[in-house]
Amino acid sequence: MNLEHLSSRLKLDVSHLHWQARSQHLTQEQFQQRFQSIADGYCEMVDDDDLPQVKQLLNLYLHHPPKSLS
């Protein structure tokens, strides 16, 4: 999977998580656990060269939800 495709999927997954947080009234701890699970999965999918870019996206999406579903 190329980085562009992975980035699109990550954006959708994080958007969905932010939606779940609002609709299911997740606690901050529940949100963080789910986000970390997503982050770990995506970090395992990429090679070392792409890892910094994925981590940068994760950090961005953690603090600024993607616009697609928010």
Instruction: Please give the pLDDT value at position 30.
Output: 97
Instruction: Please give the pLDDT value at position 68.
Output: 53
User: Model-level pTM?
Assistant: 0.84
Instruction: Please give the pLDDT value at position 1.
Output: 67
Q: Is residue 14 within 8 Å of residue 31, measured between CB atoms? A: no
Instruction: Please give the pLDDT value at position 27.
Output: 95
Residues of the chain with pLDDT under 50: 69-70
Buried b (16+ CB within 10 A) or exposed e, 50-61: beeebeebbeeb
What does the alpha-carbon distance between residue 37 and residue 68 come to, in Å, rounded to a whole number?
21
Instruction: Please give the pLDDT value at position 22.
Output: 93
Closest of 44, 20, 16 to residue 30, by C-alpha: 20
What does the alpha-carbon distance between residue 65 and residue 61 come to, in Å, rounded to a whole number?
5
